[in-house]
Amino acid sequence: MLTRLLTLLLILVLVVGFSAQAQNKYVGVKTCSMCHKADKTGNQFGVWSKSAHAQAYKTLTGEKAAAIAKAKNIKNAAEAPECLECHGAVDAKLIGTYDVKDGVQCETCHGPGSAYKTMATMKDKPKAIAAGLHEFKDAAAIEKFCKTCHNEKSPTNKAFKFDEYWAKIKHTVPKP
């Protein structure tokens, strides 16, 4: 009886948890950048802006993308879900002030930020995670996540060398 009750309770907690999570919206790079562009805390916005990820949408509007699209009978790469899925698009229902033209952005990796973006929540990591901040347990988990896009489904796939690639985009907060 008790186990049954506990199981029910667990299911309830999960359902409530998931529905709260599902309502989190993407707020866009501009919002994250407000607090993440100072040099002394690592200027994550600056690092990202210079990375290929910030160009991922723009790439779909170029000649190389047009040639790939043509060969696949796709009319416009920049509007095609089969290209956008890795070059910037997220679930349309969850878009708040997010702009697909910003490509692979903060929240593509960190999770939709509407509920964790406040200072009080950001400063409390467990609270931020509970509010939808994506948790990366270790380097292996990060690599696995990268490979959800860096894989052979990419028409221009290159071997993904984690250490090399991570070094190019990492945006660590400097130790005081």
Closest chain position to ligand HEC (CB):
113
Asked if 87 is part of the footprint of ligand HEC (rule: CB under 6 A), the reply reads: yes
Asked if 45 touches ligand HEC (CB under 6 A), the answer is yes
Non-local CB neighbours of 96 within 8 Å, separated by 6+ positions: 25, 26, 27, 28, 114
Report in angstroms how near the CB of residue 157 gets to ligand HEC at its nearest. 4
Binding of ligand HEC by 82 (CB under 6 A): yes
Distance CA 172, CA 78 (A): 31
Amino acid at 121: T
- Does residue 168 bind ligand HEC (CB under 6 A)? yes
Applying CB under 6 A, among 34, 50, 61, 140 the residue interacting with ligand HEC is 34
Q: Is residue 30 involved in binding ligand HEC (CB under 6 A)?
A: no
Q: Is 83 near ligand HEC (CB under 6 A)? A: yes
- Closest listed residue to residue 102, CA positions, set 81, 117, 87, 80: 87
**Is residue 23 at the binding interface for ligand HEC, with CB under 6 A as the rule?**
no
How many Cβ atoms from other residues are within 10 Å of residue 4's Cβ?
Answer: 8
